[in-house]
Structure 1
């Protein structure tokens, strides 16, 4: 009797696990309610650029200030990784190190201004997240369920 009951219970569980749940899911993409705009400024010295001609120093400083501005944007978007260590020997602080790094990809930023200011070169960037969202939508289609129809 127990064997028959066990077999019937096993068959019922097996068949219920194989039930087909037919449905059609319709998806809808939702945009955020608001998009922030981030700004970043990068600086680079003109005098210390490793070039002999002034025009080359200006071009190198322009590029360096742009990279510095992009780094600042990446710090705002992704945060900054801080690693620190201290070495104490005989109750005296012998060595202390702090390293900072940032990693990420910035898409959609635009240069607002790029200009010399005294002995520095300055680049101002802007990152409009509505532009970032549009770029993201072209590559990845995040979705929410709009409607489910069961058959």
Structure 2
């Protein structure tokens, strides 16, 4: 699947998710602009946001729980950056018996290296969540993809 089709599918999927949660007063153009804005900033860099809940962090000290939540939300943002750079590997199994769906399982995995990402913001959301936003320069994204494709080519030829 070429990159432009994948990008259109991703934007369509994100559009559907946002549209389901957005108000009906928003026009399609406004909605599409909002979706694209959340993935790419004004300089063309990839932007990703991660979230983590404070109260579930494994520590008795509230200050330490907050720090752990910030760390977890930063890792979630890195995961989101990796998904945007490398895509996701999906493993799907569907079992049908007597024309009836018996089971349907999905497993998703993302793997890669991210370097050069910078922290845009750390924001408390509500009373029990942190949001971390990170950005990755489009030049670095291009380098990462090139390195990844070279690595995949060298492994397949060995």
Q: TM-score range by the shorter chain?
A: 0.5 to 0.7
* Residue 132 of structure 2 is aligned to residue 123 of structure 1: yes
The unaligned stretches of length 5 or more in structure 1 are 1-34, 137-151
1:64 corresponds to which of 61, 72, 75: 72
Name the Cα RMSD after superposition: 2.4
CA distance in 1, matches of 2:85, 2:46: 9
2:85 corresponds to which of 68, 77, 89: 77
Q: Determine which structure has greater relative contact order: mean sequence separation of CA pairs < 8 Å that are 6+ residues apart, divided by chain length.
A: 1
2:110 corresponds to which of 95, 99, 102: 102
Q: CA deviation at 1:103?
A: 1.0
Instruction: List per-residue Cα deviations over 1:97-134 (Å, max 9, x = no partner).
Output: 0111111111110011112111211100010134x28x
CA distance in 1, matches of 2:96, 2:62: 47
Q: Name the structure where helix makes up a greater proportion of residues.
A: 2
Q: How many residues align?
A: 102
Q: CA deviation at 1:46?
A: 1.0
Q: SS of 2:84's equivalent?
A: helix
Instruction: List per-residue Cα deviations over 1:52-103 (Å, max 9, x = no partner).
Output: 1111111111111001000110111111111111122343322210111111
CA distance in 1, matches of 2:49, 2:121: 9
The alignment's TM-score, normalised by the length of structure 2, stands at 0.58
When Rg is computed on C-alpha atoms for both structures, the one with the higher figure is 1
Q: Name the structure where strand makes up a greater proportion of residues.
A: 1
